[in-house]
Amino acid sequence: MKKNFIYTLLFLFCSFGISNAQTAEDKKEISTAVTDILKGFQTKNGDLMNKYVNKTYGVGILFKSSGDLGFVINEDIDFSMPLGHIKKAWNIRNQFPIQFDQSCGYDLKNKKWSKEGLSVQFNSNAVNDYADKFSELYAVKDQTIFKINSNPKNVVFVTLAENSKERAPVNGFRFVMTKIEGQWFLTFIDVTEYDAE
CA 161 – CA 171 distance, rounded (Å)? 7
pLDDT in tens, 137-190: 778 889 999 999 999 999 999 999 988 766 555 678 999 999 999 999 999 999
Which has more confidence, 14 or 93? 93
**Is residue 11 over pLDDT 80?**
no
CA 34 to chain centre: 9
- What would the DSSP string read from start to end of 70-134? EEEEESS--TTS-BTTB-TT------SPEEET----EETTTTEESS-EEEEESS--HHHHHHHHS
Q: What is the pLDDT of residue 92?
A: 87
Q: Which residues contact 154 (CB under 8 A, 6 or more apart)?
A: 148, 178, 179, 180
Most confident option among 30-34, 77-81, 189-193: 30-34
Q: What percent of the chain has pLDDT over 70?
A: 80
Q: How many CA atoms lie within 13 A of 196 on its CB side?
A: 18
pLDDT in tens, 127-142: 999 999 888 777 888 9
In the predicted structure, residue 6 carries a pLDDT above the cut 50: no
Which residue did the predictor score with more confidence, 158 or 2?
158
pLDDT band at 85 (very low <50, low <70, confident <90, very high): low
Residue ranges and CATH numbers for the domains of the chain are 23-195 (3.10.450.50)
Residue 148's contacts (CB-CB under 8 Å, 6 or more residues apart) are 57, 154, 178, 180, 187
CA 61 – CA 74 distance, rounded (Å): 8
pLDDT tens digit sequence for 92-124: 888 899 998 777 788 878 778 888 899 999 999
Range 31-59 average pLDDT: 95
pLDDT band at 17 (very low <50, low <70, confident <90, very high): very low
Q: For 167, which DSSP code? A: T
